[in-house]
Chain A
Amino acid sequence: DGGITQSPKYLFRKEGQNVTLSCEQNLNHDAMYWYRQDPGQGLRLIYYSQIVNDFQKGDIAEGYSVSREKKESFPLTVTSAQKNPTAFYLCASSMDHRQGIGQPQHFGDGTRLSIL
């Protein structure tokens, strides 16, 4: 079954600690995205990657970092610089949108990050 796998489902961070959220997809999608959802709000874009070895900041990139060494994988690191990391983190992927055609993004089931 093709899909997007996020792990872990729940994660706890101590003060001053960096944590990494995993996102793997086997949909052969070129583009991958990280979003953050806070209670009562919509999803906000953290980082996105259109192609391997390339990524761009989204609307709320401060305190986060990413890498895209493989097409299938787009891990997100929440650094100690992110002062309010408690949220639900969602990874998504889509086909190559650079063709100029709208492409829906498909989401994983998310990782809930909390502060200890």
Chain B
Amino acid sequence: DQQVKQNSPSLSVQEGRISILNCDYTNSMFDYFLWYKKYPAEGPTFLISISSIKDKNEDGRFTVFLNKSAKHLSLHIVPSQPGDSAVYFCAAQHFNAGGTSYGKLTFGQGTILTVHP
């Protein structure tokens, strides 16, 4: 049961243009969403996050949009740079309404972004 899906295995973009990475989820209990960037043989690096009470969060060249009704989030990178080439994972988190919560992350499969000079 894939609760978080990244349907595009790869994305190729020209330097300076916008990169848009997409993510869909099925569990309506998710209330915190994150994007990670990962280079080969390294651990993921946290990029940006968004709470379910917001629809947009921006940090420099990175903006995450959340559409709760569509259960969809996207990461926009503007302008794209060759150093952005990496695997991007979206992840979702859920806090138990009963008060005993844990920070389990459910990850998508990842999208390989290639930014061409």
Which stretch (A38-46, A66-74, A75-83) binds chain B?
A: A38-46
Among the listed A40, A97, A107, which residue makes an inter-chain contact with B109, where contact means beta carbons less than 8 Å apart?
Answer: A40
Asked if A107 contacts B43 (CB within 8 A), the reply is yes
Q: Contact at A50–B105, with CB atoms within 8 Å? A: no
Indicate if B59 sits at the interface (CB-CB under 8 A): no
Contact present for B4 and A90 (CB under 8 Å): no
Main secondary structure of the interface of A (DSSP, over half): strand
Q: Are A97 and B43 in contact (CB under 8 A)?
A: no
Question: Is A114 in the interface zone, CB < 8 Å from B?
Answer: no
Interface contact A103-B105, CB-CB below 8 Å: no
- Check if A104 sits within 8 Å of B34, measured CB to CB: yes
Q: Which residues of A contact B107 (CB under 8 A)?
A: 42-44
Q: Which of B43, B101, B109 meets A90, CB within 8 Å? A: B43
CB distance from A4 to the nearest CB of B (A): 8
Q: Are A42 and B109 in contact (CB under 8 A)?
A: yes
Q: Chain A's nearest CB lies how many Å from the CB of B109?
A: 5
A58 at the B interface (CB under 8 A): yes
CB distance from B80 to the nearest CB of A (A): 23
Closest residue of chain B to A98, judged by CB? B101
Q: How many residues from A make CB contacts under 8 Å with B? A: 31
A16 interfacial contact with B, CB 8 Å: no
Contact A50 B102 (CB under 8 A): yes
Q: Is the CB of B46 within 8 A of A97?
A: no
Please tell me if the beta carbons of B89 and A106 are within 8 angstroms of each other in the complex: no
Interface residues of A (CB under 8 A from B): 4, 6, 31, 33, 40-45, 48, 50, 56, 58, 88, 90, 92, 94, 97-98, 100, 102-110, 112
- Of the A-B pairs whose beta carbons lie under 8 Å apart in the complex, a sample of 20, sorted by A's number, is A33-B104, A33-B105, A40-B109, A41-B110, A43-B44, A43-B91, A50-B102, A88-B41, A90-B43, A97-B101, A97-B102, A100-B101, A102-B51, A103-B103, A104-B34, A104-B49, A105-B46, A105-B105, A106-B46, A110-B41
